[in-house]
Each structure stands twice: as C-alpha cells, then as structure tokens.
Amino acid sequence: MNSQTVLTGLFGHPVGHSLSPLMHNRAFAELGINFRYAAFDIEPGQVREAVEAIRALSLRGVNVTIPHKVTVMDYLDEVDAEARAIGAVNTIVNDGGKLIGYNTDGRGYVRSLTEETGVDLSRQSALLLGAGGAARGVAVALLGAGLASLVITNRTREKAEQLAEHLQAIHPQASITVQPTERINEALVDATLLVQTTSIGMHPNVEASPVSKEALHERLLVSDLIYNPMDTKLLRDAKEKGAHTHQGLGMFIYQGALSFEYWTGQPAPVDAMREAVWDALRSRQQA
C-alpha cells in the first residue's frame, strides 16, 4: 500500500468470518492494480456514520452484508432500480462523492447458475425454497433473466405470499404461485429447477435437508445457495437420484466479481477469486 492506494471494503456485523477480503485482494493482485479491500465491523447504530466515512475517506466503494443491506439504503444518494426491486443493497460505489447503491446478489447467482450449468431459464419451471432476503434477490434476477414459472414455498406462508405479490407486480406476465411447505413433494413433480435459499443444511447442521430424498428426480436441476459445506445433504441426495446440481459458492464469487467490476471498470479475474475462496474453505474444513 502507498499514498495512491484505492480503498474498498465490507460493512457488516460481524465480519470476522468473511472471505471477501481474501477474494478481492487476490483479484486486485491478479490484475496488478493498486486497490485494497478491508472488512469493517459496523455496529447497527453506526450505519449512517459509516456511509459518511466512505466519502470522507474517499473509499471507492464497499460491499454491504448482514444486517445492514436494508438500513444502508436510507443514507445513499441513489439506489438503482434492481436494488430497489430487491429491497436491499449489497454494493456501494463512490462516484466522485455520489454514493450509488446496487445489488449484485441476484445477478451473481444467475450468472453462476447459467455459466456453470448451461441452463436455459426460459424453459424452466422453478420451485423456490424460502422467502427471505436471499430468496427475494434470486427471484428478481431469475424472472428478469426470463424465468416464466415460479412456485414459492416458505415456513411462514404469509412471507411467501408477500414475496409473490411483490414479484408479480414487477413481472405481471410470469406465473408466480405459492405452495405450503407440506406440499413441497407435490410441487416438485412438475418442477425442473429447485432453488434452495434457506439456511437448512448449513454447517454445522450438515445432515439436514429441506426436501426428502424421495421427492427428488432426475429431471431436476438442484441449486443450493449454501457453500459451507459445498456439497450439502440436499445436493448429495440429488446426485444419488440422478439430478443435476449447482453449488452455492458460485453466487458468492460472482456477486463479488460484479462488485469488483463496478469499482475497477475491469473484468474480474473470476478463476483467481474462486481459487482463493476454495483454498480458504478447504483450510477451514481441515482445521
């Protein structure tokens, strides 16, 4: 680092576990550009001051993670249409003192899904598990990328219905319906894409799955947003039933890649970013 170094970072609470600094600093080094990325643990009551510090310290931008993705929107100069539709910001760009909010989560997910599996979204009938922030971002991006049919199921049906209503207003031509969780098996019969956005199966509860193995079938592409572990029980079960699978690590990498591109104006070195994250995850699992 020197007096010309451009600073970026992560706002969240907590942030000690985050792999984003490792991933982004590897990307900056790969391209030989004088940028650095740091993690900032921001208490919930300090969001406004933290946003003001972006200007004061001339940070080029930051990523925003839990629990600040919604709160931070109140303190930005502009929020793009996609982020407003999702209702959350995960990337801030400092454009000469003007702070603009974006959301790269959904597009990062779709980019990962399509590039890694080759799936044609316009021909899929999707079942979405969950109705939280991750589900919202993914659903907006999937429908924006051409998905025509979406069924939402969530433990709290009211949240699923609220999400469906919101999505239908944005994409009136799409078929968007809600099914109770006890009818997941029935909903899966006609589904070709299963998108798992809940925390079920995340470390340390690695033997949990939101779907019974018996309900899975070989016509499915099963996508799980969880990346710790990289192969969740849901994905292991899906492989045994002959279904195609998609791991959650790609979403994390590609959302970061899109942020990187906003800040630098250069194509992100995705392979190097993926390698950095893989190496870190393997080290943690072996520890």
- Which entry of 69, 98, 159, 241 is annotated as an active-site residue? 69
> What is d(CA 112, CA 104) in angstroms, rounded to the nearest whole number?
12
> What is d(CA 227, CA 156) in angstroms, rounded to the nearest whole number?
24
Which residue type, as a one-letter code, is found at position 117?
T
CA triplet 226, 231, 232: central angle to 5 degrees? 60
Let me know if 69 is a catalytic residue: yes
> What is d(CA 25, CA 4) in angstroms, rounded to the nearest whole number?
16
Range 76-80, long-range pairs (CB < 8 A, 24+ positions)? 76/51, 76/100, 76/101
**Secondary structure E strands in the chain:** 6-12, 35-41, 61-64, 78-79, 91-95, 98-102, 125-129, 149-153, 175-178, 193-196, 221-224, 244-246
> What is d(CA 24, CA 6) in angstroms, rounded to the nearest whole number?
13
H/E segment holding residue 170: helix 157-170
Q: Does residue 143 contact residue 170 with C-beta atoms inside 8 Å?
A: yes
Q: Does residue 83 contact residue 103 with C-beta atoms inside 8 Å?
A: yes
Q: For residue 245, what are the β-bridge partners?
A: 222
Residue count of the chain: 287
> What is d(CA 248, CA 182) in angstroms, rounded to the nearest whole number?
25
Residues annotated catalytic, as ranges: 69
